Structure formats: structure tokens, C-alpha cells
Amino acid sequence: MDTRKLLCTPFTSSTTAEEVLRDIDLTGVRAVVTGASSGLGVETARALTAAGAEVTLAVRNTSAGDAVAETIGRSTGRIRPRVVRLDLADRATVTRFVEAWSGPLHLLINNAGVVTGGLERTREGWELQFATNHLGHFALATGLHHALARGAADRDGARIVSVSSTAHMRSGIDFDDLHFERRGYDPQIAYAQSKTANSLFAVEATRLWAADGIVANAVNPGGIATGLQRNFSPEQKASLDAAEAAGVFTYKTVEQGAATSIVAAVSPEFAHSGGHYLDDAQEAYTVPNDADLAQHPHGVKEWALDPATARRLWTVSTGLLRV
């Protein structure tokens, strides 16, 4: 169990994104939110825009993104967010996004995620959940490193928010079979592996980039009913229902779910401190890898914060993207 003093904020599980941003002026801040055409991404983008940030919605479906941007601009009275196409499972669109970006970047919210009910692969043969949730965001962040460094220089730091999940507690990283080429496919384990990867990314990104003024933190938004569940198999739905019944989580509103991402993005407690995993707007306590999820629904497993594993994953991910 983690015995050091954890970073705390004045916020709770019921705090909303708007409440976190109360009295905060983000004028001049440039932010990218992936997956901002539905669910948590919409509320995260809306809250940042309302506080004055210049937001770019990075989305697969630009028609849906345009509708969201129009609604955000109209409801906040602020500058309408930009909409740029980004398919995290398609390396070409990630490259185009990075090459088209101009100027500094202060906030990168890696929010997008996919859940599959069965085995799906990218054109490279990569397992889709790992490819989208981790590798796509990894390529985006490393590609935007220079822009983040410029943002850090002109605003005393830049931040990356990596959206993970309680699901990370189901699986570490299987380096011997990342893409389920030999083991039987379990979509829940595949999703869990990708969410552990999201946390490990924050650990290594902070180690490598803190000197540039860039920190990254992982967040668990909690249980929120979003479009992410639309592809659940009957087994996945049953597992989710069982977890709720066991008290592993209680459903939050989208506004409450987005709050932890906003905490990682703007709270002073995390301005220069990264490599953490946040839950309910606080830094989570660490539990052993054999800890039971039902007994520690707000913890983070050691395998999701292990520096050696984070370095190895970074090296492997870099190698995959070079092929």
C-alpha cells in the first residue's frame, strides 16, 4: 500500500468540471481534446471553452464534431472550438494532425477511447483497443512534443491528461503477446491492458519531458454511461452490472466524470507534478497487483505506475510506430 503523502485537492466525486474551473481564466490557453464528439470529451471541451481556452476537437466524425462545436460556441458565448479529423487507429490521420498543428500547445487531453465486443485489428494487425487507446495517443503526444514544449515555455508548464479507467486493475501489460496473436481473446482484458498503458504513458512522459516543463497524469473518470458501452458484448454488460452491484463504482453524471480530467488539467497541485493516477479528483493510493478490485475501487495497481514497465512500454511503442 502507498504510504507517502498523496496529492489532494478540495474537490470530491460529486464535483463537476464547471465547479473545478470556477474563477479560473484560461484565456490564451490552447487545448486539444481527443474524442470530443460525444460523452466525456464534449463536457471536457465545453468546460475548457467556457473558461476561455482555445479548444480543438480532435474527432473521427467531423460532422458530429462540427455539431458539438456549434453547440459549445453558442452555449458558452466563447470562440467556437476548431474541429480537426483524427482517427487514432489510422497513423496517417495522426501524422496529418501533427503536421498541421501550428504554434504552442498547453493542454493535451487524451480522452478518446474504444471498446470492442470481439477481436478487431488495425491494418497493421494491431489489436484495436491497444492501438487506439494507447498507440494512437502515444503517437499524437510524441508528435506534439515540440508544441507542448513551446506551450510550457510561454505559460510556465504544459500538461497532458491521459484518461485511464478502473479497468486497468484487471490486467498489466503482456509484452509477450500485446496483440493477442497467441492467447485467447478477451475484450475486457484487452481493454484493461490499454488502460494500464494509458497510466504508464503518464509515468514515462513525465520522466522524459519534465525538464521541458511538460507533465502528464492519468485519470479515472469513474462510471459514466456514455457511447463507449454501445459495443459491449452480453458478457461485458453482465460484468459491468456485477461490478456496480458489488459497489466497485456508482454512476456519475458526465459533468462529474469530466471533473477529474479538468483537475489534472488546471489544478495547481498538478502543475509541476506528473506520473500520478487520479481518482475522484484526488491522487489515488497504490495497491499491490494481487489486490481485489471490489475492495479497492479507488486504488491504482502497482503495475500501472511502475517506472521500469513504463520505460519498456515506451521503447516498445516507439518501435512499433517506426515499422
Active site residues: 191
CA angle, 120 then 122 then 125, to 5°: 90
DSSP-based three-state secondary structure for 73: helix
Phi, psi of 22 (to 5 degrees): -60, 130
Rg (CA), the chain: 18
**d(C-alpha 287, C-alpha 293), whole Å:** 10
DSSP classification of residue 118: S
- C-beta separation of 254 from 268 below 8 A: no
**Which ranges of 126-186 would DSSP assign to H, the alpha helix?**
128-130, 137-143, 145-155
CB 225 within 8 A of CB 115: no
Contact in structure between 233 and 248 (CB atoms under 8 Å): no
